Amino acid sequence: MAMTDLLSAEDIKKAVGAFSAAESFNYKKFFEMVGLKKKSPEDVKKVFHILDKDKSGFIEEEELKFVLKGFTPEGRDLSDKETKALLAAGDKDGDGKIGADEFATLVAES
Q: Which amino acid is at 65?
A: K
Decide if 28 contacts 110 (C-beta within 8 A). Answer: yes
93 is in an annotated binding site: yes
Can you give the pLDDT at residue 63? 96
63 is in an annotated binding site: yes
Can you give the pLDDT at residue 15? 97
DSSP assignment of the chain equals --GGGTS-HHHHHHHHHHT-STT---HHHHHHHTTGGGS-HHHHHHHHHHH-TT-SSEEEHHHHTTHHHHH-TTPPPPPHHHHHHHHHHH-TTSSSEEEHHHHHHHHHH-
102 is in an annotated binding site: yes
45 is in an annotated binding site: no
20 is in an annotated binding site: no
**Is 110's pLDDT higher than 90?**
no
% pLDDT > 70, the chain: 100
CATH superfamily membership of 3-109: EF-hand (1.10.238.10)
52 is in an annotated binding site: yes
User: pLDDT, tens digit, for every residue of 50-107?
Assistant: 999 999 999 999 999 999 999 999 999 999 999 999 999 999 999 999 999 999 999 9
42 is in an annotated binding site: no
77 is in an annotated binding site: no
